[in-house]
Structure 1
Amino acid sequence: MALFMDVHNKVEGLTADAVAGAHAKDLEIQGQYGVDYKQYWFDEDSGKVFCLVDAPDAESAERVHREAHGLLADQLIPVQEGVIPGH
């Protein structure tokens, strides 16, 4: 499994309810592809959304978004989890 941060640069009409609903749809089908959408962050004013996802590969993470709600990320960046020393 690999950890990715996906970035949606401008989701039109973004609201807290809309992003929560899209995330819930991801959670409904993610198991079919061995994917785990862990957390998301968003900014309503800019329309930006960030999703942290553990997936076998980038294509599997993208497939979940495509099938769940059709909102594909503009970027899918491989990341590694970091820990701040002393925290």
Structure 2
Amino acid sequence: MPLYLDIHEQAPEGLTLEALEQAHRIDLQNQDRHGVTFKQYWADLTVGKVFCLVEAPSAEAAAAVHREGHGLLANRIYEVVEGH
């Protein structure tokens, strides 16, 4: 299954780690409907950036989970390969 890194370049002002954790839980609850597996996320809230690593059949499927769950959409989604 393809692996994607999505980048949220402008997180909502005032986003907290607690709110981000809640959004991630919502993603986990909804991911199966789209054949998606969210693996990990990282954040730098001082600059408003969030990164999500996700296995998905397509970038569109990964985006659909965010869109339907909480509306925090990534600005960019890159298909990536894991290095060894």
- What's the TM-score, normalizing by structure 2? 0.95
Q: CA deviation at 1:65?
A: 0.4
- Structure 1 runs (4+) deviating above 6 angstroms are none
Pairs within 5 Å for 1:28-47: 28-47=29-48
> Unaligned stretches of 5+ in structure 1?
none
Q: Which residue in 1 is equivalent to 2:81?
A: 80
Q: Which residue in 2 is equivalent to 1:55?
A: 56
> Unaligned stretches of 5+ in structure 2?
none
How many residue pairs end up in the alignment?
83
Query: For residues 41-82 of structure 1, what are the alpha-carbon distances to aligned partners after superposition, in whole Å with 9 as ceiling and x for unaligned?
Result: 001111100000000011100100000100110000010011
Separation (CA, whole Å) in 2 of partners of 1:49 and 1:58: 16
| Greater C-alpha Rg | 1
Q: Secondary structure at the match of 1:30?
A: helix
Identity %: 53
Q: CA deviation at 1:15?
A: 1.2
- What's the TM-score, normalizing by structure 1? 0.92
Determine if the alignment matches structure 1 residue 9 to structure 2 residue 9: yes
